[in-house]
Amino acid sequence: MLTIYGIPRSRAFRPLWTAHELGIPYTLHPVDMRAGQQKEPAYLAINPNGHVPAIKDGDLVMWESLAIDLYLAKKHGGPLAPKTVEEDGLMTMWSFWAVTEVESHALQILYHRALKPEAEREPQKADDAVEVLRKPTAILEGELKKRGGYLVGNRFTIADLNVASVYSYAKPAPELFTDAPTVLAWLDAALARPAAVEARNG
């Protein structure tokens, strides 16, 4: 049985979304981050980094949300998973791209335009992040057009799920998408998938 540690309003949304896409049963083990449960010994024994998400799948314990997603997709197969070693390579490439090129900047947009109380927001940080993200967003726009609206294999895969889950943090910056209508349509369609909606509701 799969246990997912975290809450939907965190990066645990990613494996929750994956589990719903795959139609696999899971138990959600809530970790109350406001109460600091992610730093308590019982949770550190599962993820010594003190972050969510983590999973337990039988004897296997894993952390790092996008790696968990790749693992679950490959384990359970179907359209979400790579069909070939080449597709596997591309899905890994896109997942690494999202965390290295996009995530930290997209988070600045989320924090300073949505999450932080208004008095603590620093608008310049979000504006700077938008400028940094223009280049990766143009790259994504070009690749989605070239590849028929999906990142790998002309179908919705774990690569789309991983990259969309990271890009969703940039939604509070509509100006980022004015020159990237394909990215915006792809992102909105991904986040509106029934599995994503179900995962958001826990």
Ligand X SMILES: N[C@@H](CCC(=O)N[C@@H](CS)C(=O)NCC(=O)O)C(=O)O
- Binding flag, residue 52, ligand X (CB under 6 A): yes
Residues facing 56 on adjacent strands: 3, 61
Smallest CA-to-CA distance from 96 within 138, 136, 146, 126 is with: 136
**Which of 2, 15, 28, 65 touches ligand X (CB under 6 A)?**
65
Give the β-pairing of 54-57 and 60-63: antiparallel
* Site residues (CB under 6 A) for ligand X, limited to 31-50: 33, 38, 50
- 59, 3 contact by CB (below 8 A): no
**Which of 3, 8, 10, 191 touches ligand X (CB under 6 A)?**
10
- Please, which residues have CB within 8 angstroms of residue 165's CB and are 6 or more apart in sequence? 11, 13, 14, 17, 65
- Binding flag, residue 105, ligand X (CB under 6 A): no
| Smaller CB separation from ligand X, 6 or 153 | 6
- Binding segment for ligand X (CB under 6 A), chosen from 61-69, 107-115, 150-158, 179-187, is 61-69
The residue ranges that bind ligand X (CB under 6 A) are: 10-11, 33, 38, 50-53, 63-65
